[in-house]
Amino acid sequence: MKVPVRLTALATLMAAALGAPPAFALDDGATAGRYVFVPNRGSADIAVIDTRTDRLVGRVNVGNVPHQVVVSDTLGKFVASNTKDNTISIVDLATLKTGATMRLDVEPEHMEISPNGWLLAVGNIGAGTVSLISLKENRELARVQGLFEPHNLTFSPDGSLLYVANLGANHVSVIDVAEASVINEIPVADPTALAARGGGDSAEFQGIINVTKTPDGRLGFAVHGESGALAVIDLRTQRRIKSLKLGHLPWRAYATADGRYMLVPNNGDGTVSVISTASLEVVATLPGAEDMTGVNTGWFETTAFVISRGEDKVVVLDLVEMRKVGEIALPQSPETGVVTPDGSKLYIALSGSNRVAVIDTRARKIVTMIEDVGEGPWGTSMGGGAINYCH
């Protein structure tokens, strides 16, 4: 049963005084870092988990097949992308009421919030466009053409540029945000080479998944799957400053919170490349697993947790000793995860069992399973400075 949640601080106090079960309220943006938001593809809602109790405390109905949730701490809102409906839902964090449902282009999937917290960029992957939306006014300001299956989006440190990872191409597109137009294309790899009759089956060719920025926002790491090439881009100047060759079929880069490393799972050979952001060199190649969909780091960035959907587990890597130290079995399709801002707990959505696994990053083990999160939990997101990603 879906329960619409709309509570105020006063109601919370009254409920507590009367001995009723504690009511739920996200009181203000400062506590956004306390809650995990889980889009449920099957039940068309966003589950809200309190990380202090690891309990489900609320649900918000959104559109069909929600894909990702992003949080604006500045404005006290979160946004869910509803790929089946071609809409986004903008929800107030304090009341969990939907303030606006906006129709965009075909398959709005991944989103990114500008550094100042009020501009939202949405990649409409089915149309090759990017929508730029004011979260203050809840209004689409512009729709930029000329992208190639825009997957993930990354703002420059000052928010004036938007870097678009094109899944359907071998280059990163650069959008001038003020002009709302593509002003540059940065090649990451050579044009894809095929030995085939015609152009081959394009559906399974992996271009660029993401431009992953260092925590200081200065550098972006873009990986081209088919060629194994990685480009390091200066996000202030649009210059490609280094190219590297990684393993076979790399997925995308994941940043450690301290900015020291980028970790790239290579799905073609089951390894994980570790790149130093200081030297811009591969410093280690560690064992991974099949079909890796995410990497999270925690406990003072001593540990990396590599999520393997193909083998229903997490591979645990020690980033101090640079070696694999264990595995954690996860039942039924782990998808992506998020680590709390203090680095102590990792929340992973399990789409096949409708649960969220909670892992203690220091002990490197599961501490609890949160049941009945919803149908088909696809990912987890937090505010409060947590590093979020979506596959």
Partner 1 sequence: MPAAGATDAAVDRLLAAVEAYASPGGALPGRVALRQRCGDDLLCAAVLIADAFDGRATVERVTHPDTDTIRWVNTRPSVRVLGRAADGAALIALDRFGRKAKRELRAALPAAAHVVLDLRANRGGDLDRMLEVAGLFTGRVDNALYLVGRNGRQARAIPATGPISGIARLTVVVGPQTASSAEMLAALLRRHARAEIAGDRTSGKDYLVRIFPVHHDWRLVLPAERVEIPGESLAGGLRPDRPAPELPPQ
Q: Which stretch binds partner 1 (CB under 8 A): 13-21, 69-77, 122-130, 231-239?
A: 122-130
Q: Does 180 bind partner 1 (CB under 8 A)?
A: yes
- The residue within the footprint of partner 1, chosen from 11, 15, 100, 142 (CB under 8 A), is 142
Beta carbon of residue 26, minimum distance to partner 1 (angstroms, whole number)? 29
CB of 249 to partner 1, least distance (A): 7
DSSP character at residue 25: -
Instruction: Return the DSSP state at 9.
Output: H
Q: Does 35 bind partner 1 (CB under 8 A)?
A: no
Q: Does 310 bind partner 1 (CB under 8 A)?
A: yes
- Rounded least distance, CB 185 to partner 1, Å: 6
x/- track of binding to partner 1 for residues 248-287 (CB under 8 A): xx-----------------xx-------------------
Q: Does 145 sit near partner 1 (CB under 8 A)?
A: yes
Compute φ and ψ for 16, nearest 5 degrees: -65, -40
Instruction: At 120, list the tokens.
Output: 């939202």
Contacts of 175 (CB under 8 A, 6+ apart): 130, 144, 161, 162, 163, 164, 181, 182, 183
For 4, which DSSP code? B
Q: Which is nearer to partner 1, 93 or 122 (CB)?
A: 122
Give the H/E segment covering residue 220: strand 219-224
Task: Return the residue of 141, 283, 329, 367 that touches partner 1, per CB under 8 A.
Answer: 141
Which residues touch 384 (CB under 8 Å, ≥6 apart)?
Answer: 30, 31, 32, 33, 34, 73, 341
* Closest C-alpha to 82, from 67, 99, 70: 67
CA distance 348 to 342: 16
Under the binding rule (CB under 8 A), the answer on residue 149 touching partner 1 is: yes
Work out the end-to-end distance of the chain between its first and last CA atoms, rounded to an integer number of angstroms: 28
Site string (52-81) toward partner 1, x via CB under 8 A? ---------------x--------------
CB of 81 to partner 1, least distance (A): 12
Using CB under 8 A, which residues numbered 331 to 390 contact partner 1?
Answer: none
| Cβ proximity to partner 1, 83 vs 381, nearer residue | 83
Which residues on neighbouring strands pair with residue 314, listed in sequence order? 307, 328
Residue 310: CB partners within 8 Å, gap ≥ 6? Answer: 289, 290, 291, 292
Dist CA 275 CA 173 (whole Å)? 23
Of the two residues 23 and 153, which places its CB atom closer to partner 1 in the complex? 153
The residue within the footprint of partner 1, chosen from 5, 119, 169, 219 (CB under 8 A), is 169
By beta-carbon proximity to partner 1, the closer residue of 25 and 295 is: 295
User: Among candidates 330, 331, 334, 315, which has minimal Cα distance to 378?
Assistant: 334
Question: For residues 246-256, b (16+ Cβ closer than 10 Å) or e, as one string?
Answer: bbebbbbbbbb
What mask of x and - would describe binding to partner 1 in positions 314 to 333, judged by CB under 8 A?
Answer: --------------------
Report the nearest approach of partner 1 to the CB of residue 228 (Å).
8
**Which CB sits closer to partner 1, 303 or 351?**
351
Q: Output DSSP code: residue 261.
A: E
| Contact pick of 146, 159, 341, 384 for partner 1 (by CB under 8 A) | 146
Alpha-carbon span 213 to 349, nearest angstrom: 24
Q: If binding means CB under 8 A, how many residues of this protein chain bind partner 1? A: 57
The stretch among 1-9, 47-55, 140-148, 296-304 that binds partner 1 (CB under 8 A) is 140-148
Nearer to partner 1, 126 or 341 (CB): 126
User: Cα angle vertex 87, ends 55, 354, to 5°?
Assistant: 30
Residue at 33: amino acid letter: G
Q: What does the binding site for partner 1 look like in residue numbers (CB under 8 A)?
A: 67, 83, 109, 126-129, 140-149, 151, 166-171, 179-182, 185, 187, 190-206, 226, 248-249, 267-268, 291, 293, 309-310, 391
